[in-house]
Amino acid sequence: MQTSDLSDHISQRYNKDLEDLRNNVLQMGGLVETQLSLAITAIVTGDSELGLQVANDDYKVNKLEVLIDEECNRLLATRSPAAGDLRLIVAIIKTITDLERIGDEAEKIGYLASKLAEMDRPADSYRELKSLGNHVLQMVRDAMNAFARLDVAASYAVVREDEDVDEEYDAITRQAITFMMEDARSIRRVMNVTWSARALERIGDHAKNICEYVIYMVEGRDVRHTEIAQDAE
Amino acid sequence: MQTSDLSDHISQRYNKDLEDLRNNVLQMGGLVETQLSLAITAIVTGDSELGLQVANDDYKVNKLEVLIDEECNRLLATRSPAAGDLRLIVAIIKTITDLERIGDEAEKIGYLASKLAEMDRPADSYRELKSLGNHVLQMVRDAMNAFARLDVAASYAVVREDEDVDEEYDAITRQAITFMMEDARSIRRVMNVTWSARALERIGDHAKNICEYVIYMVEGRDVRHTEIAQDAE
């Protein structure tokens, strides 16, 4: 298998720096997953304080991004990496940008959760946001696992999964418009719901991006904007 | 003699490669500016066909991104660039990601313009979207000029400009909620307006990102998530 060959290659050839770099990316992914998970909890439980805490903690994600970015630049400058090593570092430079943006969206969701907590709560405790949130949280987890194991098949699965997330988002938006038309007093609240849904949908996009970098890293070809990527849109 | 001729020749080729790379990025920036400009025109003039044309033409932006990305990888692999050249290539890898995302937002605005064209039109022809649109279009132009001239002062100006764009976006959103509360029949149309405004606001973010890469490229330090960047948020 190409994947296991590449894994072997990595464990044999890459020095400790590259291994540390990969671990830092996984650590950043773990932090982003936690932030997203807490933001969803804050919405579902109406916990204003938790929402604000998530928003305040985004700086931790940003700090990790800058650290990893600097380490990538240092390795590029001092080790002149080639072939697979180079693809790994370029893929990491892109991956951390998407992780940082997921952090930004989690920050937004945290703020929106604190606003929603102050408003009337629907009987179903935002079941639709919980469902969409858990869906994209799983996508982020799967993306980071695919990154950790350089798993191309799992990466394609996440790329395809994004289709379902987009449909779920569209359904929430249609429902939101219906609610607002039926009851004008719900508009402010429902707008916060649609913004939360939009942020979650964008997180799905970022998870998909990360998986496309994994495919590029392993197979050395760019699948973005190709038929496979288009099919999954 | 022969050796030095050869190394002259190689460094000339290398410089030409880097120059071509920079020009390709500027070409991609120009294409993205055109797409954004046409998308704004489609909204303001209610031109459904133009909106769809912008959406259909997004593949041109994507093609350029893949081409430039491959060229960056080739130069990193074959030239082992150092110092300023390395920073240029890393900055370009990031810049084209943001340009591609601006293209995606312009595509969205194109679709929204075609939808808005089929609905009732306000007397002011979406003056507020025109104003916000021209504001972010200018930011994108300024960002690409700053990139072309490696102009740090101009880059900081764009970073600060993003503050005004965010305020303009907030004002449009507040107005939209008021409209929807006053007239439920406007909800579908006004939602398309807020989505267009959101896409424009995100384009401002991407222009700001590009300017942060320019500052990094010239000064060799990462200004993202630092006080200056935070002040401008």
B130, B44 in Cβ contact below 8 A?
A: yes
Q: Which one, of B197, B224, B218, B230, lies nearest residue B98 by Cα?
A: B224
Alpha-carbon A95 to chain mean position: 10
- pLDDT of amino acid A3: 62
For A39-57, the pLDDT digits (tens) are 999 999 999 999 999 999 9
Is A2-231 in CATH node 1.20.58.220? yes
Distance CA B178, CA A87 (A): 50
Alpha-carbon A65 to chain mean position: 14
Q: Does the beta-carbon distance from B177 to A198 stay under 8 Å?
A: no
pLDDT under 70 in chain B at which residues?
1-4, 221-233
Confirm or reject contact between B63 and chain A (CB < 8 A).
yes
Tokens 């000029």 locate to: B145
Query: Which of B85, B88, B90, B221 is the best mutation test for A, with the most CBs of A within 10 A?
Result: B90
Query: Which of A74, A90, A104, A224 is the best mutation test for B, with the most CBs of B within 10 A?
Result: A90
Which residues of chain A does B76 touch, with a Cβ-Cβ cutoff of 8 Å?
A: 76, 86, 90
Tokens 């929603």 locate to: A116
pLDDT under 70 in chain A at which residues?
1-14, 221-233
DSSP states of B155-216 as a string?
A: HHHHHHHHHHHHHHHHHHHHHHHHHHHH-GGGHHHHHHHHHHHHHHHHHHHHHHHHHHHHHH
CA distances in angstroms from B109 to A206, B11, B64, B125, B203, listed in the order given:
20, 44, 20, 15, 11
Burial of B200 (0-12, 13-18, 19+ CB in 10 A): buried
- pLDDT of amino acid B80: 85
- pLDDT of amino acid B79: 87
Q: Which of residues 98-157 of B touch A (CB under 8 A)?
A: none
- pLDDT of amino acid A4: 63
Put residue B138 in one of left, alpha, beta given phi > 0 → left and psi -120 to 50 → alpha. Answer: alpha
Distance CA A38, CA A66 (A): 23
Confirm or reject contact between A1 and chain B (CB < 8 A).
no
Tokens 């790994």 locate to: A88
Distance CA B51, CA B47 (A): 6
Which residues of chain A does B70 touch, with a Cβ-Cβ cutoff of 8 Å?
A: 222
User: What is the token pair recorded at A118?
Assistant: 């102050």
CA distances in angstroms from A31 to A103, A106, A231, B172, listed in the order given:
9, 11, 31, 34
Average pLDDT, chain A: 90
A82, A53 in Cβ contact below 8 A?
A: no
Burial of B45 (0-12, 13-18, 19+ CB in 10 A): middle
Confirm or reject contact between A170 and chain B (CB < 8 A).
no
Across the interface, of B86, B184, B198, the residue whose CB is closest to A77 is B86
Q: Which one, of A97, A84, A96, A94, lies nearest residue A220 by Cα?
A: A84
Q: Which of residues 64-83 of B touch A (CB under 8 A)?
A: 65-66, 69-70, 72-73, 76-77, 80, 82-83
Establish whether this prediction's ipTM goes over 0.90.
no
CA-based nearest distance A37→chain B, Å: 23
- pLDDT of amino acid B7: 76
Average pLDDT, chain B: 91
- pLDDT of amino acid A80: 82
CA distances in angstroms from B185 to A85, A171, A178, A191, B189, listed in the order given:
57, 20, 11, 16, 8
Which residues of chain B does A198 touch, with a Cβ-Cβ cutoff of 8 Å?
A: 198
